[in-house]
């Protein structure tokens, strides 16, 4: 799953803007699957979405897709621990991630849709944009790879 040098440079530029935020970097302190942190997971999903769009020749708003993917699990809590959060994590975390992201960044409609609809079809409303479908698919793919420990932490370096 290699990107060309120029694609890698572009990817790094897009994620670096978001990684300036201490809150975004805090995702590295929460585990998502197996031993992979939320930040590593989000980087993997962003990288995989971008790689798929390039290799399959799917025309996308690349910057919005990478940014939305990096913020799709920006919920900032340990979902493995029981707490007094209302609702089931699988259903509620896209909205929490969107609210956190909107506190930190100005998001466009694509970026919002990517974050809010990434759990489809578990959540009932389907994504509106092809960028959101790609991220939703990449999220499922990366989640399986991480849970089966076929992808190690730090798989994507920036």
Q: Given the rule CB under 5 A, which residues bind Fe ion?
A: 73, 139
Complex with Fe ion: residue 111 or 139, whichever CB lies closer: 139
Could you tell me the CA-to-CA distances from 118 to 2, 81, 121, 157 in Å, in that order? 24, 22, 9, 23
**Quick one: angle between helices 38-55 and 62-70, nearest 10?**
160
Complex with Fe ion: residue 9 or 150, whichever CB lies closer: 150
Complex with Fe ion: residue 79 or 129, whichever CB lies closer: 79
Minimum distance from CB of 5 to Fe ion (Å)?
27
Complex with Fe ion: residue 14 or 116, whichever CB lies closer: 116
Tell me if 45 sits within 8 A of 139, measured CB to CB: yes
State the DSSP string of 67-105: HHHHTTTTT-S-TTS--S-SS-HHHHHHHHHHHHHHHHS
Minimum distance from CB of 6 to Fe ion (Å)?
27
Minimum distance from CB of 37 to Fe ion (Å)?
12
Closest alpha carbon to 90 in 70, 105, 106, 73: 73
Minimum distance from CB of 81 to Fe ion (Å)?
16
Q: Is 6 helix (H, G, I), strand (E, B) or coil?
A: helix
Minimum distance from CB of 90 to Fe ion (Å)?
8
Complex with Fe ion: residue 9 or 29, whichever CB lies closer: 29
């Amino acid at each position: 799953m290699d990107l060309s040098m120029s694609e890698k440079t572009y990817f790094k530029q897009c994620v670096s803007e978001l990684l300036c935020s201490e809150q975004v970097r805090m995702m590295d302190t929460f585990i998502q699957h197996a031993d992979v942190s939320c930040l590593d997971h989000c980087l993997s999903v962003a990288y995989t979405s971008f790689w798929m769009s390039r290799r399959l020749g799917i025309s996308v708003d690349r910057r919005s897709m990478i940014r939305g993917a990096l913020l799709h699990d920006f919920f900032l809590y340990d979902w493995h621990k029981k707490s007094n959060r209302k609702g089931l994590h699988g259903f509620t975390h896209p909205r929490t991630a969107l609210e956190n992201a909107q506190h930190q960044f100005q998001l466009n409609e694509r970026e919002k849709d990517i974050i809010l609809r990434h759990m489809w079809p578990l959540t009932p409303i389907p994504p509106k944009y092809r960028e959101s479908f790609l991220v939703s698919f990449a999220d499922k793919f990366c989640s399986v790879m991480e849970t089966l420990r076929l992808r190690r932490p730090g798989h994507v370096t920036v």
